[in-house]
């Protein structure tokens, strides 16, 4: 089950909200946990037990780490927690990748396991790891109530697509949450906006991508048009899901961190990654980069730290060499900025913005490939390799049919609309008009999004890949 589906919007969510607000305070987490397990089992019934096993191990290791805090055995329990969590992730997500590369290197034919990737395993694994590490560091207390810990890890609003919620951020909210009309209204508004971004923008742009993939008349301009549409598709898909998760969290009294902050207005790759998938970047910073020594090391070790982080960031996204290349590509750019380009880009914002959009586009060409060969082909097509024409009839066809949605996506990827609304809200008369229009506009967005979903329109679930 996904947020952008009729069963979720009009069956699952209303029933869960009814049961949640009907339940007494001491049973609200139980309602959320059972609902989350049902939500997960809808698409992956057999992997519910895997998630419960990892939750159980996290619960036990958390208690043991805290019990022996300050003693050597505490570090052993932390190591066991990390190993067990990463072993599950490694087995289900990367086993076939390693077998394929082993076969290629040795000439053998070890059969592939062909495992189905458990939905959300990349996200809930990182949440369990952050929990046990924080208990070891003493920045969080071990959770005595297994239902509360399981609720934190399995909570359906952020289970399958993030943001990666830290236990320390919602520890107190697991037992004491506030509900208010203002919070509920904000949650509904944020959810509908996220749903609209996903259904009306990301899915429509995804249709252009599908057309490109099936096209037999590719051209240089067509490659660039595809990459631009894919770049916006990923952004509105990810940020739309994050908006929906944050909105759902508000409905149930939780405050989740922001995950995107208009990354395409950046003027450097460094700034881009402060604005894109913020929860993932901060996770790698706090649990990998800083423990490796961060910036407080010599230059050679700093290079090593940066490339370890970005190798892992790329590999986290998928078990293919193109994701590793994608991560190392950003590692190279961030290293160049850190040592050579930082001051120049800070002084020349316009150039920096063009530079960011160009190199971001190349990164999405890498990211869009099903494998390394396709990623290289995409980059080659962007720069005219492979004896392809500059333009083609299908490029003009897509430009006519999707040009307006690309313009809308480009404007929506900036804070322009938000800034205009803020100016209106600062004016009492105009603010009254905005408040009067808000509910009708949100209802229209919900109705149109529902119509698209009911019509069976293109609605890919990108997170199966991650």
10 Å Cβ neighbour count for 271?
19
Q: Which of 55, 222, 111 is nearest to 63 (CA)?
A: 55
**DSSP secondary-structure letter at 387?**
S
Q: Are 335 and 303 in contact (CB under 8 A)?
A: yes
d(CA 462, CA 367): 12
Per the annotation, the verdict on 353 as an active-site residue is: no
Residue pair 200/449 in contact by the 8 Å Cβ criterion: yes
Helix (H, G, I), strand (E, B) or coil at 459: coil
Q: Please state, in angstroms and rounded to a whole number, the distance separating the CA atoms of residues 159 and 175.
A: 19
Chain centroid, CA 407 distance in Å: 24
At 200, give phi and psi (nearest 5°).
-85, -30
Which residues 6+ apart lie within 8 Å of 463 measured at CB?
119, 120, 160, 161, 241
The residue annotated as part of the active site, out of 69, 179, 277, 317, is: 317
Task: Give the DSSP H/E element, type plus range, for residue 375.
Answer: helix 372-382
Spatial CA neighbour of 126 closest among 234, 18, 288: 288
Per DSSP, 120 falls in state: T
The residues, any chain, with a CB within 8 Å of residue 87's CB and separated by 6 or more, are none
Return the half-sphere exposure (C-beta side, CA atoms, 13 A cut-off) of residue 25. Answer: 8
Q: How large is the greatest C-alpha to C-alpha distance in the chain, in angstroms?
A: 74
In 3D, which of 189, 163, 213, 170 has the Cα closest to residue 458? 213
Active-site annotation, residues: 317
């Amino acid at each position: 089950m996904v947020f952008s589906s009729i069963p979720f919007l009009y069956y699952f969510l209303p029933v869960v909200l009814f049961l949640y607000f009907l339940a007494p305070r001491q049973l609200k987490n139980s309602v959320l946990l059972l609902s989350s397990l049902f939500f997960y089992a809808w698409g992956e019934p057999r992997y519910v037990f895997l998630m419960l096993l990892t939750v159980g191990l996290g619960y036990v290791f958390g208690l043991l780490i805290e019990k022996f805090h300050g003693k050597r055995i505490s570090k052993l329990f932390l190591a066991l927690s990390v190993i067990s969590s990463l072993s599950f992730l490694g087995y289900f997500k990367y086993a076939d990748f390693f077998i394929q590369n082993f076969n290629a290197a040795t000439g053998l034919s070890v059969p592939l396991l062909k495992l189905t990737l458990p939905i959300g395993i990349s996200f809930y694994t990182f949440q369990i790891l952050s929990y046990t590490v924080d208990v070891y560091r003493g920045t969080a207390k071990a959770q005595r109530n297994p239902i509360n810990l399981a609720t934190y890890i399995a909570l359906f609003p952020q289970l399958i697509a993030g943001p990666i919620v830290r236990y320390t951020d919602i520890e107190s909210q697991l037992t004491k949450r506030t509900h208010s009309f203002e919070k509920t209204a904000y949650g509904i508004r944020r959810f509908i906006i996220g749903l609209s971004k996903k259904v009306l923008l990301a899915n429509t742009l995804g249709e252009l991508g599908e057309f490109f993939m099936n096209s037999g008349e590719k051209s240089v301009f067509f490659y660039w048009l595809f990459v631009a549409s894919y770049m916006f598709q990923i952004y509105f898909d990810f940020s739309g899901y994050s908006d929906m998760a944050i909105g759902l969290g508000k409905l149930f009294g939780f405050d989740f961190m922001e995950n995107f902050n208009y990354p395409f207005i950046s003027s450097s790759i460094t700034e881009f990654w402060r604005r894109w998938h913020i929860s993932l970047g901060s996770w790698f910073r706090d649990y990998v980069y800083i423990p490796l020594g961060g910036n407080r090391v010599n230059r050679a070790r700093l290079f090593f730290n940066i490339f370890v982080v970005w190798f892992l960031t790329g590999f986290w996204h998928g078990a293919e060499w193109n994701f590793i290349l994608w991560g190392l590509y950003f590692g190279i750019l961030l290293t160049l900025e850190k040592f050579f380009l930082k001051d120049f880009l800070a002084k020349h914002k316009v150039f920096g913005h063009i530079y960011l959009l160009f190199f971001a586009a190349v990164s999405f060409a890498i990211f869009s490939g099903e494998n390394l060969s396709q990623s290289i082909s995409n980059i080659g097509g962007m720069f005219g390799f492979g004896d392809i024409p500059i333009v083609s009839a299908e490029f003009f066809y897509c430009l006519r049919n999707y040009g307006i949605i690309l313009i809308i996506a480009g404007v929506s990827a900036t804070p322009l609309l938000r800034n205009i609304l803020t100016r209106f809200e600062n004016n009492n008369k105009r603010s009254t008009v905005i408040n009067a229009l808000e509910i009708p506009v949100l209802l229209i967005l919900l109705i149109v999004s529902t119509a698209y979903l009911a019509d069976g329109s293109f609605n890919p679930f990108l997170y199966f890949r991650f």
